[in-house]
Amino acid sequence: MKRSYLLASIGLLVLAVIAIWAFWPTASEEHGEEEHGEETRTLEGIVQIDQRQIEASSIGIETVRTGSVTELVFPATVAAAPNASARIDARASGVVRSVNKTLGDYVRQGEAIARIESADAAGLASQVATARARVNELSALYERERRLFEANVTARQDLEAAQANLRVAQAELSRAQAAAAAAGLSGDGRSLAVTSPIAGQVTSAPIVLGAYVAAGDELFQVVNGSGLQVQVALPANDAARIRPGDEASLELGQGREVGGRVRSVTPALDPENRSATAVISLARGAPDLRPGAFLQARIRPSGEADAATISVPEDAVQMVEGREVVFVRMASGFQAMPVTTGARSAGRIEIRSGLREGQQIATRNAFLLKAELGKEEAEHGH
């Protein structure tokens, strides 16, 4: 009985050893599984894409740099510089007899853009005529005194008095002619010219042909587009951080922007809105800008750069499976790299961990990589 039990136990043990040996993985199988697991870990989060596809998808690529610069965002208004904007008023009361320019037209400096028939024109013409007649009269008197003096008939003081009177009359004639020229007096002495003091484009033209205007009434407004500037409202807490010379950029919409530099900052706060005003000069002309337009201005205060901080454009950070990632350029495409983010300012996000200097990342249209990654993971799931 005991012998039979012992033999049965030995048989079961042998069968167990054989079963274990039969199902034990070989070294090659283990190596294959390890390679497969390593391959799975390597391919996780990678989007396979070549350079041609990157260009076709307009995916922007930026090199990660340290030394993040603080950017402050403020509302801004486009305005014409004082020497690039002109309000043209009527110089005298009268009736508008001609209008040569209208809204949107370009004008040259000193060009006559309208004419006003005015009694003041007649007055100026009369002053010129009177002064000219007086000069003619005194010129004849001076010539008479000169001939008499040369004939030893009159004394020298009589000649000198006639000469002095003539010079006074000539000065009066020059004054009258200058006044007439400045007013744009017409040849017939009936109308005065309305001229533009600057070259530019007519932005307002309330003038009406045939209407009566009083002296000082606004007739035109002309703006020189090359002399625009941007005025930024600075809250009291930020006003002390902005200084002349600080770099700035202005968002024009549709992804376009133009650079500039802070030219001046008002030393006092506006009593109504408790803000200072910074004036930004544009680095180049922007044809799309118009006086009165509203913009977003990004100003980078000098001396506030952090040499150890990394920041990337907001478009570069995507949310994948509940975590923030940045797509880092690899040899075969892009790797979704988890990152820890910090402060956000002026379209950029601080990266506290997950990236290192020198890496290339996807910025513009990075969401396309996120979509492609989701599609590939869905296919692998099935």
CATH number at residue 323: 2.40.420.20
Give the model's pLDDT for residue 28.
Answer: 38
Please indicate, yes or no, if residue 255 is contained in any of the structural domains: yes
Please indicate, yes or no, if residue 96 is contained in any of the structural domains: no
- Which of 377, 318, 250 is closest to 59 using CA atoms? 318
Same domain, 290 and 235: yes
Instruction: Compute how many other C-beta atoms are within 10 angstroms of the C-beta atom of residue 314.
Output: 15
- Are β-strands 247-253 and 256-265 bridged in parallel, bridged antiparallel, or unpaired? antiparallel
Give the model's pLDDT for residue 152.
Answer: 86
Domain end position, chosen among 262, 279, 300:
300
pLDDT tens for 263-284 read 999 888 888 888 899 999 887 7
Same domain, 349 and 315: yes
Please indicate, yes or no, if residue 256 is contained in any of the structural domains: yes
Give the model's pLDDT for residue 381.
Answer: 56
Please indicate, yes or no, if residue 139 is contained in any of the structural domains: yes
pLDDT tens for 230-250 read 999 898 888 888 889 888 888
Non-local CB neighbours of 167 within 8 Å, separated by 6+ positions: none
- Which of 284, 246, 286 is closest to 263 using CA atoms? 246
* 40 has pLDDT over 70: no
Give the model's pLDDT for residue 30.
Answer: 42
* 253 has pLDDT over 90: no
pLDDT tens for 332-345 read 899 999 999 987 76
Contact 222, 107 (CB under 8 A): yes
- Which of 53, 66, 60 is closest to 361 using CA atoms? 60
Find the range with the poorest average confidence among 45-59, 221-235, 257-271, 299-313.
Answer: 299-313
Please indicate, yes or no, if residue 214 is contained in any of the structural domains: no
Same domain, 359 and 339: yes
Tell me the pLDDT band of 42, cut-offs 50, 70 and 90: very low
Give the model's pLDDT for residue 2.
Answer: 47
- Summary mean pLDDT of the chain: 82
Task: Over range 294-321, report the average pLDDT.
Answer: 82
Q: Can you give the CATH number for the domain in which 290 is found?
A: 2.40.30.170
Task: Over range 293-300, report the average pLDDT.
Answer: 86
Please indicate, yes or no, if residue 134 is contained in any of the structural domains: yes
Please indicate, yes or no, if residue 219 is contained in any of the structural domains: no
Domain of 332 in residue numbering reads as 43-68+306-381
Considering its fold, how many domains does the chain have in total? 3
